[in-house]
Structure 1
Amino acid sequence: MKTLNRREWTRLTLTGVAGLMLPNALKALPVAAPVTIGLQSYSLRDRPLDEAIKAMVSLGIKSCELWGGHVEPREAQWQRNSTPADNQRKKELLEQWRANLKMEEIHAIRDKFKTAGIRIQAYTASIKDSISEHDLEQQFLIARALGTNSITTSATVSVMKRVDVYAQKYKIQVGMHNHSHTDQPNEFSSPDSFARGMQGLSAYIKINLDIGHFTAADFDAVAYLKEHHKKIICIHVKDRKKHQGPNVPLGEGDTPIGPVLRLIRDNGWPIPANIEYEYNGADTVEELRKCIAYCNSQLKS
């Protein structure tokens, strides 16, 4: 029989021909599958929702993790160097918006993504210990109205018990997002903090693994993914240096982006890889284009 290269094998796999060529004992083995390269819309925080959607279309993005800042009022978003008076005004505006929100507004956002041919893979909600019960439940109602069964959140370990109540009620999985704040035990940053966040809770409480922050905190993203992939609903792709190093362009840091993407591909795990652009580049769309190209190049290896 002719020896097949990777490109020929992938083509046969996608057409179903490969299954006819294999003994039955081998058909059950994992088959390399395409990896969904999506986008965390926080990457496009420099523009409003409609412009962000246009940018995603131009980049060929088909799967999106929708940042709450593209749903809530733009003028209520946190900004660096805001004064205490500005922050109070933004807080009051956001509270007013949440108190009067109609789900028809969220359905309209869902329809914009559907028209653009972009799947909303998850909704990124802001959930902290101080959140009210009304606002906490509202995050799940928004996710449901957007048509997704997943929420990602930079929450705290201590709030997850409250989160789990609504996760079970609405049957929506929640991925805890990590940063690199290992000096703050109530923040998600380490394998231990993830374990504490899930301890005693339902299977709806899962992980949104940011492999850049995980690397900056000096943990091994590849080893963690191998052991905990069933609990990971999506990853964030960014590049950082170890030892709390900075965000840098993809390929210039210590984050094992290629090995992580190939591990997902080769095992056929249904884990979207969402690019989160945070380093200081030039034009946002052009930088994202470079990020996508880098991920694709790593998947060709």
Structure 2
Amino acid sequence: MKPKNLNRRKFLGSAALASAGLLLPTHSLFAGPAIIKNWKKPNSKINGVQIGVITYSFRSMPDQSAEATLKYVVDSGVSAIELMGDPAESFAGRPENPVDRRTYYGLRRSKRDGQLTEDQEKELADLEAQSKSYAKQVAEWRKNMSLEDFIKLRKMYNDAGVTIYAFKPNAFKQNHTDAEIDWGMKAAKMLGANHVTVEHPSDDAHTARLGKFAKQNKIYMAYHGHEQQTPTFWDTALQQSDYNALNLDIGHYVAAGNDQPLQIIKDKHAHIKSMHMKDRQVPANSKGNLVWGNGDTPLKEALQLMKTKKYKFPGTIELEYEIPEGSNAVTEVQKCLAFCEKALG
């Protein structure tokens, strides 16, 4: 059964598309004629290098629906994405999350950086308890929902000129059931993705489990890393399954203190399915996450390497630096894309 707010969600989504110039009011949302024929579709494949964006980059924007997210992507000039689970599942009618995600993820980042106060620790614990309860509700919903909704979502994005190369639902952790893991991979294929992404669990038994499901579904499981990344970080997972792969984060790799960050790309390129891009500093410079071109991450050189070597994996813009006052996520992603265009020109 669809939730009560579905009609309102569809109305808001249609309004977002109409304001973006992506929807004609006299046609169905998913019908071919609904797309304005002379609409200029984005193209962020630059001299053979596909530049994408993870939709997490737009987390600060007011509307997190799939339709509004599509508008942000198109307005940014990006034609390929790593799609987070929330907008996709909300589109398909998932029950609303009672947890304030912005607060929750902010507290989690602060905890990771060792910056939580005692009161914040309590607040995070309460939010985590709410999240566990909600996770059970979502698991039940996933059992009964129709994956056909993801085909509709894929068509809407593709019609607007945006392809989905990766999917990142919250479905691949140790506490998720086999059914949920299988669901996440099947959903990704419906969306047109060739890989799913997940934070590396640092658990060899679990990467073996995920690799098994990836092989069964013929879709790659690409592991993302933060400052725990090293040149050998993915080796065990890669040995466990031909369908285990890398979602390298070159910015976090630099902040972790690894020297020769371009070497990991050269050494592991055959296993990299997508690479997150951000400009972080080395430990000696406080590991800051800065506007592109101001940190220590060799983003320009990495992009040029991808171009020269004709690597096929996309470079994924992940907007994590502080958005300047008066700007917004769409404007900043545009700036990151401009950086890529200049580097690859």
Q: 1:113 aligns with which of 143, 157, 181?
A: 157
Q: 2:250 aligns with which of 211, 221, 225?
A: 211
Q: 2:140 aligns with which of 79, 92, 96?
A: 96
In 2, Cα distance between equivalents of 1:44 and 1:217: 25
Matched, 1:37 2:51: yes
CA-CA distance at 1:160 after TM superposition = 1.0
In 1, Cα distance between equivalents of 2:180 and 2:47: 38
Partner in structure 1 of residue 168 of structure 2: 124
* Aligned pairs for 1:279-294 within 5 A: 279-281=321-323, 282-294=327-339
- Cα gap change, 1:204/1:278 in structure 2, threshold over 3 Å: closer, same or farther? same
**1:215-239 superposed Cα distances (whole Å, 9 cap, x missing partner):** 1111232011111111111111111
State the TM-score, normalizing by the size of structure 2: 0.71
Q: 2:319 aligns with which of 277, 297, 301?
A: 277
State whether residues 178 and 190 of structure 1, in contact with CA within 8 Å, keep that contact through their aligned partners in structure 2: no
State the TM-score, normalizing by the size of structure 1: 0.81
State whether residues 42 and 69 of structure 1, in contact with CA within 8 Å, keep that contact through their aligned partners in structure 2: no
CA-CA distance at 1:56 after TM superposition = 1.2
Any gaps of 5 or more consecutive residues in structure 1? 1-31, 183-188
Letter in 2 for 1:63: A
CA-CA distance at 1:129 after TM superposition = 1.6
In 1, Cα distance between equivalents of 2:242 and 2:78: 29
State whether residues 154 and 192 of structure 2, in contact with CA within 8 Å, keep that contact through their aligned partners in structure 1: yes
Partner in structure 2 of residue 64 of structure 1: 81
Partner in structure 2 of residue 51 of structure 1: 68
Q: 1:191 aligns with which of 224, 231, 236?
A: 231
In 1, Cα distance between equivalents of 2:175 and 2:152: 29
Q: Secondary structure at the match of 1:71?
A: helix
Q: Secondary structure at the match of 1:192?
A: coil
- Cα gap change, 1:234/1:88 in structure 2, threshold over 3 Å: closer, same or farther? closer
Alignment root-mean-square deviation, CA: 2.0
Partner in structure 1 of residue 190 of structure 2: 145
Letter in 1 for 2:267: E
CA-CA distance at 1:202 after TM superposition = 2.4
State whether residues 49 and 307 of structure 2, in contact with CA within 8 Å, keep that contact through their aligned partners in structure 1: yes
Partner in structure 1 of residue 279 of structure 2: 239
Any gaps of 5 or more consecutive residues in structure 2? 1-45, 105-122
Q: Secondary structure at the match of 1:255?
A: coil
Letter in 2 for 1:190: T
Letter in 2 for 1:233: K
In 1, Cα distance between equivalents of 2:188 and 2:180: 13
In 2, Cα distance between equivalents of 1:86 and 1:169: 33
CA-CA distance at 1:196 after TM superposition = 2.1
Partner in structure 1 of residue 201 of structure 2: 156
- Cα gap change, 1:290/1:134 in structure 2, threshold over 3 Å: closer, same or farther? same
Q: Give identity over the alignment, percent.
A: 29
Q: Secondary structure at the match of 2:311?
A: coil
State whether residues 237 and 276 of structure 1, in contact with CA within 8 Å, keep that contact through their aligned partners in structure 2: yes
Alignment size in residue pairs: 261
CA-CA distance at 1:70 after TM superposition = 2.0
- Cα gap change, 1:291/1:33 in structure 2, threshold over 3 Å: closer, same or farther? closer
In 2, Cα distance between equivalents of 1:263 and 1:233: 16
Partner in structure 2 of residue 223 of structure 1: 263
Q: Secondary structure at the match of 1:111?
A: helix
**1:64-88 superposed Cα distances (whole Å, 9 cap, x missing partner):** 1111222234843644255345334
Q: Secondary structure at the match of 1:259?
A: helix
Q: Secondary structure at the match of 1:280?
A: coil
CA-CA distance at 1:89 after TM superposition = 4.1
State whether residues 209 and 236 of structure 1, in contact with CA within 8 Å, keep that contact through their aligned partners in structure 2: yes
In 1, Cα distance between equivalents of 2:180 and 2:87: 17
Matched, 1:179 2:199: no
Partner in structure 2 of residue 27 of structure 1: none
